[in-house]
């Protein structure tokens, strides 16, 4: 066989995205929404490297995630290094490193790219960008209100109306109170229940019910009275979990003189948001948001689009992140929001930015000898803050104009011998054909 | 010994940087300079993933760089993957992938983070950010003029005056003409000479001279006439390389009827830049910029600061990048500029941005009961485009004001019972103490 030159493939690495300018314009729009929304509240941007010591993730999340879902490798200096799969450990590390010098509270945000080794599928990529917002050092519930307010602003900025989405709210303190105090579960039982509730949306109603009954031992070998007691407890919990709203939920709990602090917090957040005009919020006793981190209020933004109801993003309070570094507690409330679902929402709701022109003006040139003059004109216009592209193709003038038009550039200036001689220039708006004299 | 909880370290991975908000503000300023400078010329931003197939770098640069300086590892799916050490192969891949659909010329830029496994030292980090600018598809020398103009704009935007830096210019075509045609060297000799010239600045004058003589075989066993001929050639080349300026250099070349195209191009670029008011440019016959890629004009921006003369960044024309992908030639001119040296220059020339306040206004609150009202006021002000931070600390009012002052926030609004009752608010400028009534 004849020799054949080896030809390189042009595909990106599996599961990651190339951002051609049209794609990048969407990313930039999303980042812009994120930056505008957070900076309005006085949040400052930070960043860290993509590369982190692998131990940062092992300590927190157990070995599973480090072994199976992260990009972890040994560098040439025998260090185990991970491509960050999330930003929270990095920001906790940074805050712990300078805890004494930093002026609390910290209002911080970042837009890192994060990596997970997953089988690529719709909505799941191996590298994605995520807004991370954290308010460190505020104990009061005002922190939750501010954070949820920002999440609301961002969702609105994606183009959703209040009726398009819902903010769901729960409180870890309430869940702990219910499982621990109201039902007297041990930690193991409580965890099983939490796990079941977390998966409730993805389970059939039957399966969920059976699962809850199993937690109470129903079905194991037990005598009749034990079974009855277990069934009674299970029914009570299922009824509680099926409460239609916050007041119904509260009414099914033991009535105490002073309301439980977790319930009070929910009440305050609901009231605080309502006062700010945010009324598409509802208490959701089944909202769990995983098992780690969170210690208080948790929330999620839900897309209510009937064609594709889903969680969009969320967050909550986590008061114990820095203890891994031997630091005192620093309270924190925060959330993360990803670029893939943001783009998807903007597509769904028709708010993707129109592809914008790369320039305000195209300068078309008749005759190579007039290029230097054209470059001069371009520089003068740029000095005025205009974006100017110079056509260097030496093509026919019609082709140059059509090229500008294809790129969406709204105005053109034609420069030929006459213009160079007289210095009299005209600027033409392509959509109307109107020409106006131009003085530099 | 007593058990001790394992404490995680707070250091970043070796050789990479954490960007606390003050550092990030500098990065953002640098990126802003880059974006502003390129977008003025109609350049559009693109991006690709940090992860690239390892073969992308093997094909181009030989095995050395892949083996020793890159982060290359095998993923869980047995793919060899590299953290991109430079952007050019990625952009070449992207252009090759869509060559038929893209509207040429392409004016593209990107601000990727790049990775190199190096021993960290001043100015060398394992992850850095780099502006990459490319103009694809323009054959004429106007492309070089535009690209160098942008490089000039960026250097000025860093804060350097014309007298602080110099743009050095050479042409691969001239070097090829000199080594191949004027001196009749074979490829091997020509490569040796190019390598020597590239290292000239870092060598003693003696060592350089000896090196050049060695290339011509002086010192090897040869008869007197051979040695004389070799010495004569070496002297001629050394004299040529020591030319003080372009005209002297040209005068030492064989005088031909028509000037060599490479010389003509240099003349045109010098003239074109001068016409645009860029006069701190000089021909530098010793400027090589590595061995790969470049096929025509090359340039470098030099910092002329006596304390630290050095190359700041540079680029040139490379017309053959896409052939690896089996594509036809696409001409290209471009350059790359890094964030580490940009920051360094801004420090040297005193143009680092002053740390900016995270907000325009701080709202200080007397009495927890007034928080909801304060949040309302904050929202109204944010709706007007102001950045507003609310103090949720419940500290003494003096502490709240001093905290705002420490953060550099210029104005405050104090909200207490009186303000809530009357709705009459005052805004105070901290630097002057002047209070003005505020209507929302």
**Structure confidence by residue, pLDDT tens digits, B93-150:** 999 999 999 999 999 999 999 999 987 777 789 999 999 999 999 999 999 999 999 9
Question: What angle do the packed helices B142-158 and B21-39 form, to 10 degrees?
Answer: 150
Of all residues in chain A, the one with the smallest CA distance to B403 is: A103
Which residues on chain A are in Cβ contact (under 8 Å) with B83?
50
Q: What is the pTM of this model?
A: 0.94
Question: Searching chain B, which residue's CA lies closest to the CA of residue A271?
Answer: B372
Search chain A and give the residue with CA nearest B28.
A45
ipTM of the complex: 0.93
**Number of Cβ pairs closer than 8 Å across A and B?**
257
The per-residue pLDDT for range B253-272, each reduced to its tens digit, is 999 999 999 999 999 999 99
Question: How close B11 gets to chain A, by Cα (Å)?
Answer: 7
pLDDT of residue B63: 46
The tokens describing A272, both together, are 């605080």
pLDDT of residue A228: 86
> Are A212 and A231 a contacting pair, CB within 8 Å?
no
Second CATH level (architecture) for the domain A361-438 = 3-Layer(aba) Sandwich (3.40)
B contacts of A28 (beta carbons < 8 Å): 45
* Percentage of residues in chain B having pLDDT higher than 90: 79
Q: Which chain A residues have a beta carbon less than 8 Å from that of B27?
A: 47
pLDDT digit string (tens) for B151-203?
Answer: 999 999 999 999 999 999 999 999 999 999 999 999 899 989 999 998 888 88
Could you give the CA distance from residue B276 to residue B253 in angstroms, rounded to a whole number?
29
Cβ-nearest to B42 among A18, A52, A388 = A388
C-beta atoms of A142 and B392 within 8 A: yes
Cβ-defined contact of B14 to A77 (cutoff 8 Å): yes
Residue B307: pLDDT band (50, 70, 90) is confident
Q: Where are the domains of chain A?
A: 361-438
> First-to-last CA distance in chain A?
64
User: In b/e form, how buried is each residue of A125-159, taking b as 16+ CB within 10 angstroms?
Assistant: bbbbbbbbbbbbbbeebbbbbbbbbbbbbbbbbbb
Q: Which residues pair with A171 in a beta bridge?
A: A297
Nearest chain B Cα distance for residue A234, angstroms: 39
* Closest CB from B10, B40, B375 relative to A145: B375
What are the phi and psi torsion angles at A173 (to 5°)?
-65, -35
Contact B80, B303 (CB under 8 A): no
Q: What is the pLDDT along chain A (440 residues), one digit of tens a residue?
A: 333 446 789 999 999 999 999 999 999 999 999 999 999 999 999 999 999 999 998 865 544 455 578 899 999 899 999 999 999 999 999 999 999 999 999 999 999 999 999 877 777 899 999 999 999 999 999 999 999 999 999 999 999 999 999 999 999 999 999 999 999 999 899 989 999 998 888 889 899 999 999 888 876 667 788 888 888 999 999 999 999 999 999 999 999 999 999 999 999 999 999 999 999 999 999 998 876 789 999 999 999 999 888 999 999 999 888 888 887 889 999 999 999 999 999 999 999 988 789 999 999 999 999 999 999 999 999 999 999 999 999 999 999 999 999 999 999 999 999 999 999 999 999 999 999 999 88
Give me the architecture of the B161-293 domain, per CATH.
2-Layer Sandwich (3.30)
Give whole-number Cα distances, A422 to A247, A334, A425, A436, B304, in Å: 80, 63, 8, 16, 41
Q: Say how many C-beta atoms besides its own lie within 10 A of residue B184's C-beta.
A: 10
Cβ of B73 within 8 Å of Cβ of A73? The answer is yes
Contact between A59 and B6 using a beta-carbon 8 Å cutoff: yes
- The full length of chain A comes to 440
Cα B243 to Cα A286, A322, B167, B232: the distances in Å are 80, 63, 17, 17
Give CA–CA dist A44/B319, Å, rounded: 43
In the prediction, which pLDDT does B4 show? 42
What pLDDT score does B3 carry? 38
Q: How confident is the model at residue B67 (pLDDT cuts 50, 70, 90)?
A: low
**Cβ-defined contact of A51 to B126 (cutoff 8 Å):** yes
CB pair distance less than 8 Å for A12 and B93: yes
Is B77–A14 a contact, with Cβ atoms under 8 angstroms apart? yes
- Closest alpha carbon within chain A to B25: A45
Q: Which residue in A47, A103, A343 has the most chain B C-beta atoms within 10 A of its own C-beta, making it the best mutation to test that interface?
A: A47
CB contact under 8 A, A24 and B41: no
What is each CA distance from A252 to A126, A209, A238, B15, B277, in whole angstroms? 44, 18, 11, 57, 80
Hey, do B14-136+319-355 and B161-293 end up sharing a CATH topology, with the first three levels equal?
yes
Question: Which superfamily does B14-136+319-355 belong to?
Answer: Bira Bifunctional Protein; Domain 2 (3.30.930.10)
pLDDT greater than 80 at residue B6: no
With both helix axes pointing from N to C terminus, report the angle between B205-215 and B224-241 in degrees, rounded to the nearest 10: 130
């Amino acid at each position: 066989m004849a020799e054949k030159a080896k030809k390189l493939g042009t595909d990106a690495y599996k599961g990651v995205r190339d951002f051609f300018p049209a794609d990048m314009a969407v990313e930039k729009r999303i980042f812009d929404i994120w930056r505008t929304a957070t900076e309005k509240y006085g949040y400052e941007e930070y960043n860290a490297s993509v590369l982190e010591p692998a131990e940062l993730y092992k300590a927190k999340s157990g070995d599973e995630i480090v072994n199976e879902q992260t990009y972890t490798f040994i560098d040439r200096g025998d260090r185990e290094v991970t491509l960050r799969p999330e930003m929270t450990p990095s920001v906790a590390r940074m805050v712990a490193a300078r805890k004494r010098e930093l002026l609390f509270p910290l209002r911080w945000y970042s837009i890192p790219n994060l990596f997970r080794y997953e089988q690529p599928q719709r909505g799941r990529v191996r590298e994605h960008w995520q807004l991370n917002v954290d308010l460190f050092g505020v104990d009061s519930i005002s922190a939750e209100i501010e954070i949820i307010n920002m999440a609301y602003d961002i969702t609105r900025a994606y183009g959703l109306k209040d009726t398009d989405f819902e903010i769901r709210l729960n409180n870890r303190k309430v869940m702990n109170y219910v499982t621990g105090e109201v039902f007297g579960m041990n930690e193991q039982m409580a965890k099983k229940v939490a796990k079941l509730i977390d998966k409730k949306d993805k389970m059939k109603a039957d399966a969920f019910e059976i699962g809850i009954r199993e937690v109470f031992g129903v079905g194991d070998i037990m005598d009749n009275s034990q079974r009855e007691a277990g069934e009674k407890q299970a029914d009570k919990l299922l009824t509680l979990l099926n409460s239609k709203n916050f007041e119904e939920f509260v009414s099914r709990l033991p009535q105490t003189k002073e309301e439980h602090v977790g319930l009070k917090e929910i009440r305050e957040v609901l009231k605080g948001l309502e006062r700010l005009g945010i009324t598409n919020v509802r208490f959701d006793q089944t909202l769990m948001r995983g098992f780690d981190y969170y210690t208080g209020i948790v929330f999620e933004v839900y897309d209510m689009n009937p064609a594709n109801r889903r969680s969009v993003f969320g967050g909550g309070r986590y008061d114990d992140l820095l203890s891994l570094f031997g630091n005192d507690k620093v309270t924190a409330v925060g959330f993360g929001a990803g670029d893939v679902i943001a783009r998807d929402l903007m597509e769904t709701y028709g708010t993707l930015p129109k592809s914008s022109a790369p320039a305000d003006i195209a300068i078309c040139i008749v005759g190579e000898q007039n290029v230097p003059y054209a470059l001069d004109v371009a520089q003068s216009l740029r000095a005025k803050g205009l974006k100017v592209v110079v056509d260097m193709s030496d093509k026919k003038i019609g082709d140059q104009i059509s090229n500008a038009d294809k790129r969406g550039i709204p105005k053109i200036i034609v420069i030929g011998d006459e213009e160079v001689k007289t210095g009299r220039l005209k600027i033409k708006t392509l959509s109307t054909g109107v020409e106006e004299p131009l003085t530099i």
